[in-house]
Structure 1
Amino acid sequence: MRSRFSVRKFLPTPLPPSDIRGILEDAQAAPSNCNTQPWTVHVVSGAARDALSKELLKADEEKRFSPDFSFSYADFGEGTYLDRAHEHAATVYQSVGISRSDQASRYAHARENLEFFGAPHAAFLFMPAFGDGVRAAGDIGMYAQNFLLSLTARGLGGIPQTMLGQYADTVREFLDVPKGLKLLFGISFGAADLAAPVNGFHMGRAPLEQSVVLHDTPGVLDER
């Protein structure tokens, strides 16, 4: 868990089918509300991966955004969450030598999401529209964490990508997915290019004191 990180540059070599099946079987073991297992996962590789990437890039150029779920930095409000998001963005761009004022390079780097950062495979995680969607989305998150940890355990890597979910209609049409299934996000995966500077940093995590409140649970936050 502590060695996992989001890979932003992959080697192009496809994974063996046995590895992909093992990763999917590990992910399938995730818990879910009432054992509904509400995930439908589409994996693209090879020619399908390349063709879908072209469609996503075209949709981005034409500003055909079609997210099933909203995303905006403004939703983070002022303070802790927005500060963390800004720190993350600054760290990523600094790793590849892009300045804050270089908007063209920032945009070009963001579009690498739509090329799956060079990964040979990408998985798209769809969910049914149960109620307000929160419980199903939580289940998808646990599935995705299993998926990512299985990659790490095999010496591989992945990255969950909100940006892939911004073009849900494009993905649904290309993959022939029913409209009733909503795209939460995608995961690009494969072998990490460990020589790439963008893979040379790991984002830190907040200390427990910032996120955990203990009640009659003494000693947990004592200094070691």
Structure 2
Amino acid sequence: MPTTASPFTDIVRSRRSVRKFLPDPLSPSEIRGVLEDAQAAPSNCNTQPWTVHVVSGAARDALSKELLQADEEERFSYDFTFDYADFGDGAYLDRAHNHAATVYQAMGIPRSDRAARKAAARENLDFYGAPHVALLFMPVFGDGVRAAGDIGMYAQNFLLSLTARGFDGIPQTMLGFYADTIREFLGVPEELKLLFGISFGTADPAAPANSFRMGRVPLEHSVVLHETPGVLDEQ
């Protein structure tokens, strides 16, 4: 069996989350190709629990307007909770804080400038200028964890397919803060819950927000080996 790096390895390790896009849309065939790749994701008992709404053009602009208005009026509607306090006081919170600091530093926004930070966060609601956004909805089976895991695998296929085709995307938890607004706009039934969205298109190469890459912790921080010697000795 081959042990050298493959094109797949290059794709996985070059994927990044983009926070400023060019306005150029993907072609219908390009979007379909990404969706077909995503559809190949595994799922528990082959339930394939994803319902995906892809929004572009005038509908994309109108949805952004609705989201920005909902944010102005503080009309938050979460299908799933989100609170930094839930990360605890250890490594997870430290990583979240480091992520925020890296993003804002790249954008030239100091920690003390709360107004600029809020404005930067609101760019989520204009999909960072991307021409397309995919909203990922799921049914809730039991506690919802297994379906959410399936959606995560679908989303990873989606993101890697974009990278393989020369495009970019960003998964956005913040879009899930306005689930009712999005459901009403798209005509989605209440029983389908919004986990997150993915804005996608072509990265703006000149944008400061795209000038960095987030690191990952060393393997030994995440992996425990049992009778699998030598793996963590490799450099």
TM-score bucket (shorter structure): over 0.9
Given residue 9 of structure 1, which amino acid in structure 2 is its aligned partner?
Answer: K
1-structure distance, mates of 2:225, 2:103: 34
Alignment pair present for 1:6 and 2:22: no
Deviations 1:151-172 (A, max 9, x none): 0001100000000000000000
Deviations 1:72-99 (A, max 9, x none): 1000000100000000000000001000
Size of the alignment, in residue pairs? 224
2-structure distance, mates of 1:221, 1:12: 43
1-structure distance, mates of 2:104, 2:227: 43
TM-score, normalised by the number of residues in structure 2: 0.95
Counterpart of 2:115 in structure 1 is 104
Detail structure 1 runs of 4+ shifted over 4 Å in the superposition. Answer: none
Of 26, 35, 60, the residue aligned with 1:24 is: 35
Of 164, 171, 174, the residue aligned with 1:153 is: 164
Counterpart of 2:191 in structure 1 is 180
Unmatched segments (≥5 aa) in structure 2 = 1-11
2-structure distance, mates of 1:92, 1:171: 26
Give SS of 1:101's match. Answer: coil
Give SS of 1:186's match. Answer: strand
Return 119-128 or 188-197, whichever deviates more.
188-197
Deviations 1:12-57 (A, max 9, x none): 0111000000000000000000000000000100000000000000
Counterpart of 2:104 in structure 1 is 93
* CA root-mean-square deviation: 0.5
Counterpart of 1:205 in structure 2 is 216
Counterpart of 1:65 in structure 2 is 76
Give SS of 1:191's match. Answer: strand
Alignment pair present for 1:166 and 2:148: no
1-structure distance, mates of 2:142, 2:69: 33
Alignment pair present for 1:42 and 2:53: yes
Of 138, 149, 153, the residue aligned with 1:127 is: 138
Deviations 1:179-200 (A, max 9, x none): 0000000000001101111101
1-structure distance, mates of 2:145, 2:156: 17
- The percent of aligned pairs where both chains have the same amino acid is 81
Unmatched segments (≥5 aa) in structure 1 = none
TM-score, normalised by the number of residues in structure 1: 0.99
1-structure distance, mates of 2:95, 2:196: 20
Of 60, 65, 69, the residue aligned with 1:54 is: 65
1-structure distance, mates of 2:105, 2:129: 20
